[in-house]
């Protein structure tokens, strides 16, 4: 009888623990004409890059665990142009990663290209999240 009660208690605690376990989430993903902060994102969407401004892709993610890898790219239709990746050394309730170019390329960004931000979050070699913004031209 005691064995059954202990087994049931362990089972209930395990189910309850799984129900409260937090999975990684993307809170904000986008492109900006400058580096952003968490406060900037809380105030609203930062200005989108133009052909003659810097271009920074950003991702704000929550509930990340030690060992998770966050990879962020500024991409055009042909693939990633600039990438930043980090494997976390500790749990992070909130995490901001950025990738891009603080300067404008000579002659500006090609206006025929469409750009997007792409994020991939992995845990234990399994993809948790893979997400991209819709492609936009830099006017």
- pLDDT given at position 45: 86
Is the distance from CB of 79 to CB of 66 less than 8 angstroms?
Answer: no
- pLDDT given at position 4: 41
- pLDDT given at position 24: 95
- Which domains does the chain carry? 21-137 (2.60.40)
Q: CA 89 to CA 102: how far, in whole Å?
A: 26
Could you write out the DSSP letters of every residue in 68-130?
Answer: -EEEEEEEETTEEEEEEEEE-SS-EEEEEEEEEESSPPTT-S-TT-EEEEEEEEEETTEEEEE
- pLDDT given at position 9: 40
- Looking up tokens 């845990």, which residue turns up? 123
- Work out the number of other CB atoms within 10 angstroms of the CB of residue 50: 16
Question: Collapsing DSSP states into helix, strand and coil, what is residue 42?
Answer: helix
Q: Considering the entire predicted model, what is its pTM?
A: 0.83
- Of 65, 71, 66, nearest to 24 by C-alpha is 65
Tens-of-pLDDT digits for all 139 residues of the chain? Answer: 444 433 334 434 444 343 334 699 999 999 999 999 999 999 988 999 999 999 999 999 999 999 999 999 999 988 999 999 999 999 999 999 999 998 898 999 998 999 999 999 999 999 999 999 999 999 9
């Amino acid at each position: 009888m005691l064995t059954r009660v202990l087994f049931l208690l362990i089972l209930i605690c395990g189910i309850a623990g799984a129900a409260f376990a937090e999975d990684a989430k993307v809170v904000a993903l986008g492109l900006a004409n400058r580096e952003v902060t968490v406060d900037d994102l809380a105030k609203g969407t930062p200005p989108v890059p133009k052909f003659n401004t810097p271009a920074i892709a950003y991702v704000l993610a929550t509930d990340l665990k030690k060992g998770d890898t966050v990879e962020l790219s500024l991409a055009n239709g042909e693939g990633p142009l600039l990438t930043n990746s980090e494997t976390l050394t500790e749990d992070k309730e909130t995490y901001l990663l950025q990738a891009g170019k603080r300067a404008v390329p000579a002659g500006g960004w090609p206006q025929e290209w469409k750009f997007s931000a792409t994020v991939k979050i992995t845990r234990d070699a399994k993809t948790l999240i893979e997400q991209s913004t819709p492609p936009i031209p830099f006017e």
